[in-house]
Amino acid sequence: MDVILANPRGFCAGVDRAIAIVEGALEMYGSPIYVRHEVVHNKFVVDGLKAKGAVFVEELEEVPDEAIVIFSAHGVSRRVEEAAEKRGLTVFNATCPLVTKVHLEVVRHAREGREVIMIGHSGHPEVEGTLGRYT
């Protein structure tokens, strides 16, 4: 049997949703719209969003007070959410629903006193966001 992969394959629903949130915020509020971490690992898409006025940052501290910020599909830690709220940032949470489900499971297991082992790439935004829920 031959297996043929479509090329290009497109993005998962979570990434499509995150891109739509960034584009919608740009249409609604104009630029700049700050996005914490690239919304997708795709230079073409990121460059297109930059051209429309999205400003990609790695840390929340790079976002001016009271600005609009979007959390990428990778999700963020609770600490990042609290820092954004404290600074009066308008937040659009584009976290993938499947990532949110993982976050909720980590919280549940932590509350039940279970140890959680996370397998992933150290420093990757999705891993950092998930580990930031384990308290």
Distance CA 60, CA 125 (A): 13
What pLDDT does residue 5 have? 78
**4, part of any domain:** no
Q: Among the options 58, 85, 112, 126, which is catalytic? A: 126
Residue 10: pLDDT above 80?
Answer: no
3-state secondary structure of 69: strand
pTM of the model: 0.83
pLDDT tens digit string along 29-48? 999 999 999 988 889 999 99
**88, part of any domain:** yes
Question: How many other CB atoms sit within 10 Å of the CB of residue 21?
Answer: 21
Cα-Cα-Cα-Cα torsion 17, 21, 22, 28, nearest 10 degrees, comes to: 150
**123, part of any domain:** no
- Split at pLDDT 50, 70, 90, the class of 103 is confident
Residue 79: pLDDT above 80?
Answer: yes
Residue 8: pLDDT above 90?
Answer: no
The strand order across the sheet containing 33-36 reads 54-57, 33-36, 68-71, 90-93
112 carries an active-site annotation: no
Q: State which residues form the domain around 36.
A: 13-96
**48, part of any domain:** yes
